[in-house]
Amino acid sequence: MAEAGESAKRAVTIAVDGPAASGKGTLARRLAASFGLSHLDTGGLYRAVASRLLRLGGDPGDETAGEKAAQSLEQKDLEAADLRTEEVGQAASVVSAHPGVRAALLAYQRQFAATPPGAVLDGRDIGTVVCPGADGKIYLEAPVEVRARRRVKELRLRGVESIESRVLQEMQDRDARDSGRAVAPLKAAADALKIDTSDLSPDEVFDRALSYLTARLD
């Protein structure tokens, strides 16, 4: 009986990783709602650090300044108006390569994941570094050209016109930085379910993830 009680209180953790515009945010939000879990967009944390740094006139390439910004992050930084801009996304990719910045954000992410009833975290290193013992791990992928076209559409829906070749170039740069960094690079965990989202609708991606997770969490 005690064992059943303990396991009922245990936090369930689901990791959703993948590159920019792979669909991980949409999937993570839907999974969290479906399983009654909290959701953490970990990219938002790195974006908040970058946004704070830029606001203070700092250089995203400066590790000491990045680490300071990460250590002094406040709620208002997580709600900054420029968080979703491409400029902040690029700067987030630069600051997130600094080991000191990653270390400053690690405990918060782990604590969030460990708080009952548990959480779905989306990012780049959730299944490999933040929550290597996650109950379920999903890695979304799609060729960079497909993801750049998606991003152009998303931006258009937000009223931002952009040049596809430029978005593609920036996404290639970001992929290279996120995958090539020495600490916690973007990569699929060996035990993750990989889903190529190129030809799938968000509903189809959700259905695949749901059947994999339902089987694992049972």
Instruction: Kindly list the residues in this chain that would bind ligand DC in the complex (CB under 6 A).
Output: 20, 42-43, 46-47, 89, 92-93, 96, 123-125, 174, 178
**What is the nearest approach in angstroms of ligand DC to the Cβ of residue 24?**
7
Q: Residue 123 or 136: which CB sits closer to ligand DC?
A: 123
C-alpha to C-alpha distance for 47 and 93, rounded to whole angstroms: 8
Polymer length in residues for the chain: 218
C-alpha to C-alpha distance for 112 and 184, rounded to whole angstroms: 19
**What is the nearest approach in angstroms of ligand DC to the Cβ of residue 184?**
7
Q: Residue 10 or 28: which CB sits closer to ligand DC?
A: 28
| 135, β-bridge pairs | none
**What is the nearest approach in angstroms of ligand DC to the Cβ of residue 171?**
10
Beta strand residue intervals within 61-163, DSSP E: 118-123, 136-141
Q: Residue 13 or 42: which CB sits closer to ligand DC?
A: 42
**What is the nearest approach in angstroms of ligand DC to the Cβ of residue 197?**
14
Q: Residue 93 or 197: which CB sits closer to ligand DC?
A: 93
Q: Does residue 37 contact residue 117 with C-beta atoms inside 8 Å?
A: yes
Q: Does residue 100 contact residue 106 with C-beta atoms inside 8 Å?
A: no
